Amino acid sequence: MRPILMRALARSTPTPVQWLEEPPPPHWREVITRTFPAARRLSPSRLDRLLQTVQLFLENTRFEGAGGFELTEEVELTIASQACYMLLGRDEEPFPRTRRVIVYPETFVPRRPAGIPDFEFIDEPDEATLGESWDHGTVILSWPSVEAGARDPDDGWNVVFHEFAHQLDQGDGESGGMPADVPGTLRQEWQAVVADRLAEIRRDLDDGHEPYLDDYAATNEAEFFAVATETYFEAPDHLAQWDPGLFALMQAYFRWTP
């Protein structure tokens, strides 16, 4: 990692996390390692940390089924373990602004909230989607997409990583492709790298070439960060080879290498 990134992170002083006194239920380890195979690659100590982080996240986050979907403990653990996997290098409360996760039995047509925080829906259907993240702390997911992303940890695609990357980005109530907790000394470099890579991907698409990140990264800065996060956690070796500069930014921000 480049020294400038290490110095920037050393000056970032987040509030330490307060873990729950009760240990996670013993059977969670089997459920998480079965439904989310990437967890099997973790060292024993890091897997313990994942379980602690999942426990705290579930303590503070409400899950709801929609469209007739029936929630189970396994559903909640499968989603929470993927989200919290991203934060294993960060000794902080997991997703403090995220308060609600809604799960659909299939792809869904989102209806935009008419009131916040009451979250009453209005009937303004958009196109069907696999997942959404809203800046008032709600994540909406399609369960088949969650399962598919968890099942294959190396295919470069994971809807939970993607939508919870948006939650990190929306930590200050906005979504601009740079999370609010990126250290100030790193922000200028972050903006420069993202602007350069976004322009490169768009040029590749205009020229008929396949970019090294998914095409959806070209949408805007927010989607670029979400796609880069997916790639970092699903294909870190490839990202390090394709784009060492972007890899270094992701490594600096998440503070661990999967």
Torsion, CA 231, CA 72, CA 97, CA 252, rounded to 10? -30
Contact (Cβ atoms closer than 8 angstroms) between residue 42 and residue 82? no
pLDDT at 175: 81
Strand 138-142 and strand 131-134: the pairing is antiparallel
pLDDT at 131: 76
Residue type, 44: P
Residue found by looking up tokens 């196109």 in the block: 127
Count of residues in the chain: 258
Q: Encode burial over 185-211: b for 16+ CB neighbours within 10 A, e otherwise.
A: ebeebbeebbeebbeebeebeeeeeeb
pLDDT at 2: 40
**Residue range 14-18: mean pLDDT, rounded:** 69
Q: Which sequence spans correspond to the domains of the chain?
A: 23-166, 184-254
Q: Report the distance separating Cα 244 and Cα 248, nearest Å.
A: 6
**Tens digit of each residue's pLDDT (9 = 90 or more) over 160-201:** 999 999 999 998 777 889 999 998 888 999 999 999 999 999
Quickly state the pLDDT bin for 139 (edges 50, 70, 90): very high
Q: Which two tokens stand for residue 102?
A: 């809604």
Which CA distances in Å does 98 have to 49, 132, 138, 164, 250? Answer: 20, 13, 6, 9, 21
**Residue range 95-116: mean pLDDT, rounded:** 75
Quickly state the pLDDT bin for 71 (edges 50, 70, 90): very high
Q: Report the distance separating Cα 86 and Cα 94, nearest Å.
A: 10
DSSP string, 133-178: EETTTEEEEEHHHHHHHHH-TTSS--HHHHHHHHHHHGGGS--SSS
DSSP string, 106-122: S-B----EEETTTTEE-
Q: Which two tokens stand for residue 191?
A: 């903006």
Residue 86 is given by DSSP the state T
Contact (Cβ atoms closer than 8 angstroms) between residue 54 and residue 88? no
CA angle 38, 224, 163 (to 5 degrees): 50
In the beta sheet, which residues pair with residue 102?
64, 140
Of the ranges 14-23, 104-113, 192-201, 202-211, which one carries the lowest mean pLDDT score? 104-113
**Residue range 145-153: mean pLDDT, rounded:** 94
Fold type of domain 23-166: Cyclin A; domain 1 (1.10.472)
